[in-house]
């Protein structure tokens, strides 16, 4: 027993010694919280969905690197108010999840650490990444984030309801619109057959979905609404046509109303509508549901890019997620630990792509493992049709909020289309002129 006690003591001392020398990385992220299900899981291949996969990835990294402790803080999406306060008080975490569309706001004020050396030290080359990814994180010839994915809004389709509506093709693909007129004709056919709304959209308590759909409709008209990155132009017929379509979809009864984000996600999962307009991040969860028996999506789920409503251009608004290191004093040891973490994320880009997001590493996007994942061939065109706002446009999240508020006012009948566009343009340009 004495020998056993001595052995236990020795192990404890070694453990304490190891912990005493552990390097701690403070990591702050969105993607939700799911510790009850994934808090101790390290089998990344068994994880599903954004939260499950990122939680398991961090668990696995810690298990593989016992000398590095990753302390995770989960913030409510998108978390930039919290990050701003942390930066102001010089208490920013070491690693933060960020949207490409938000990066310029921080990089332009010198609040992010360039990562060129950190990535080079890990053997990661800029040429390893897709053009869409590396161009999004490169500012003034320096890299300011580890690109993690590209994402966009998609049409998630309940094929079982589409079959009921007679909107399935012989090859097993749902019949989707290729124009505004086809959208309303097919929507009418769907709703008469099923008694359910054609679309499920997030129209309550969130502005981003209005703005993202509007951006897509503007890009499909090849609009130059941000030709000058310091001013938005919503005075043309293109903006009016885009918002008119959005309003008609809702006012003519082709969309579920008053759903916030969680309600909209659940509504599609419960079979309350035909097509969910939502992001790439839901592919993994809905696909998993479709492979279960006896539910509304069983063997009846497909997903596609947003239809082309306007003839000028096949385009869809796209953004992405990356990992940044905020400005701060850090030891060489901690920066090396962050480098290891980023290399681990880079090496596991395929696992993250299982969420539905497009991978950023070229060899992953070209791999058999990725291309054989469900639905990827149906959304592959996004690699060519995905389009972001010009990188020089600052305050893109604030612009998204303003634009979404005004678009929502018009869609929900609280303002005329002309008034909403005029007000949005004034508010956004006032914001940009006072940066």
What pLDDT is recorded for position 131?
Answer: 85
C-alpha span between 288 and 53 (Å, rounded): 14
What are the tens digits of pLDDT across the range 214-269? 999 999 999 999 999 999 999 999 999 999 999 999 999 999 999 999 999 999 99
Contact 240, 421 (CB under 8 A): yes
Averaged pLDDT of the chain: 93
- Same CATH topology for 23-151+319-387 and 152-317+390-433: the answer is yes
DSSP 157: E
pLDDT digits (tens, 9 = 90+) for 156-170: 999 999 999 999 999
Q: Residue 316: phi, psi to the nearest 5?
A: -145, 140
Per-residue pLDDT tens over the stretch 351-374: 999 988 999 999 998 899 999 999
pLDDT number for residue 107: 94
User: What mean pLDDT comes out for the span 200-207?
Assistant: 93
Helix (H) or strand (E) holding 24: strand 23-29
* Domain positions in the chain: 23-151+319-387, 152-317+390-433
- The 10 Å Cβ neighbour count of residue 69 is 14
Integer Cα distance of 92 and 85 in angstroms: 8
Instruction: Assign 348 a pLDDT band (cuts: 50, 70, 90).
Output: very high
Q: Does domain 23-151+319-387 have CATH number 3.30.750.24?
A: no
Q: Residue 16 pLDDT more than 70?
A: no
pTM to 2 decimal places: 0.85
Mean pLDDT of 291-316: 96
Residue 93 CA to residue 74 CA, distance in Å, equals: 12
User: Does 150 score more than 70 pLDDT?
Assistant: yes
- Report pLDDT for 384: 81
Structure tokens at 166: 């007679």
Q: How high is the pLDDT of residue 4?
A: 38
For residue range 369-410, list pLDDT tens digits in order: 999 999 998 998 887 888 989 888 999 999 999 999 999 999
**Which has the minimum average pLDDT: 2-6, 113-117, 238-242, 333-337?**
2-6
Other C-beta atoms closer than 10 Å to the C-beta of 65 total 17
Spatial separation of the C-alpha atoms in residues 133 and 83, rounded to whole Å: 23
| Torsion on CA atoms 252, 156, 216, 136, rounded to nearest 10 | 160
Q: Tell me the CATH architecture of domain 152-317+390-433.
A: 3-Layer(aba) Sandwich (3.40)
- For residues 397 and 132, the model is more confident at 397
Query: Which residues on adjacent β-strands are paired with residue 211?
Result: none
Task: Summarize pLDDT for 264-288 with one digit per residue, the tens.
Answer: 999 999 999 999 999 998 998 899 9
Please answer whether residues 359 and 141 qualify as being in contact, where contact means their C-beta atoms are separated by less than 8 angstroms. no
Predicted local confidence at residue 77, as pLDDT: 85
**What is the structure's pLDDT at 6?**
39
Alpha helix locations (H) across 150-252?
159-164, 180-194, 208-220, 237-251
Tokens of 11: 């192990």
Alpha carbon distances (Å) from 149 to 57, 194, 304, 365, 421: 15, 36, 18, 11, 32
pLDDT of residue 284: 85
pLDDT, greater one: 344 or 6: 344
Handedness of CA 282, 288, 291, 295 (dihedral sign): negative
Q: What is the pLDDT, as a whole number, of residue 21?
A: 60
pLDDT of residue 156: 98
| Rounded (10°) angle between helices 237-251 and 417-433 | 120
């Amino acid at each position: 027993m004495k020998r056993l006690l001595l052995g236990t003591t020795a192990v404890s001392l070694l453990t304490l010694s190891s912990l005493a020398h552990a390097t701690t990385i403070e990591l702050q992220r969105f993607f939700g919280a799911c510790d009850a299900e994934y808090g101790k899981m390290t089998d990344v291949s068994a994880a599903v969905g954004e939260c499950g996969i990122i939680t398991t990835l961090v668990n696995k990294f810690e298990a593989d690197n016992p000398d590095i402790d990753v302390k995770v803080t989960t913030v409510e999406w998108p978390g930039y108010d919290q990050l701003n306060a942390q930066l102001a008080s010089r208490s920013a975490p070491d690693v933060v999840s960020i949207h490409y569309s938000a990066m310029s706001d921080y990089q332009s004020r010198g609040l992010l650490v360039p990562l060129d050396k950190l990535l080079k030290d890990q053997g990661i080359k800029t040429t390893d990444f897709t053009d869409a990814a590396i161009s999004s994180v490169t500012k003034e010839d320096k890299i300011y984030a580890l690109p993690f994915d590209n994402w966009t809004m998609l049409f998630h389709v309940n094929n079982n309801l589409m079959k009921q509506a007679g909107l399935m093709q012989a090859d097993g693909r749902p019949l989707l619109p290729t124009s505004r007129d086809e959208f309303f004709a097919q929507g009418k056919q769907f709703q008469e057959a099923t008694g359910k709304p054609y679309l499920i959209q997030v129209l309550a308590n969130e502005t981003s979905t209005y703005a993202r759909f509007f951006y897509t409709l503007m890009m499909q008209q090849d609009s130059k609404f941000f030709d000058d990155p310091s001013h938005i132009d919503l005075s043309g017929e293109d903006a009016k046509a885009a918002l008119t379509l959005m309003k008609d979809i809702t006012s003519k009864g082709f969309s579920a109303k008053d759903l916030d984000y969680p309600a909209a996600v659940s509504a599609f999962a419960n079979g309350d509508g035909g097509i969910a307009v939502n992001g790439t991040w839901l592919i993994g969860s809905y696909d998993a549901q479709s492979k279960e028996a006896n539910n509304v999506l069983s063997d009846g789920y497909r997903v596609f890019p947003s239809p082309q409503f306007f003839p000028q251009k096949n385009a869809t608004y796209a953004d992405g997620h990356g990992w940044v290191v905020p400005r701060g004093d850090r030891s060489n040891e901690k920066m090396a630990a962050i480098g290891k973490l980023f290399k681990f994320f880079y090496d596991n880009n395929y696992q993250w792509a299982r969420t539905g997001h497009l991978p950023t590493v070229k060899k992953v996007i070209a791999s058999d493992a990725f291309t054989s994942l469900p639905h990827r061939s149906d959304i592959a065109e996004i690699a060519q049709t995905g389009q972001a706002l010009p990188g020089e446009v600052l305050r893109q999240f604030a612009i998204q909020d303003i634009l979404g508020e005004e678009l929502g006012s018009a869609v929900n009948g609280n303002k005329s289309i002309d008034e909403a566009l005029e007000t949005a343009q004034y508010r956004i340009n006032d914001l940009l002129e006072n940066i």
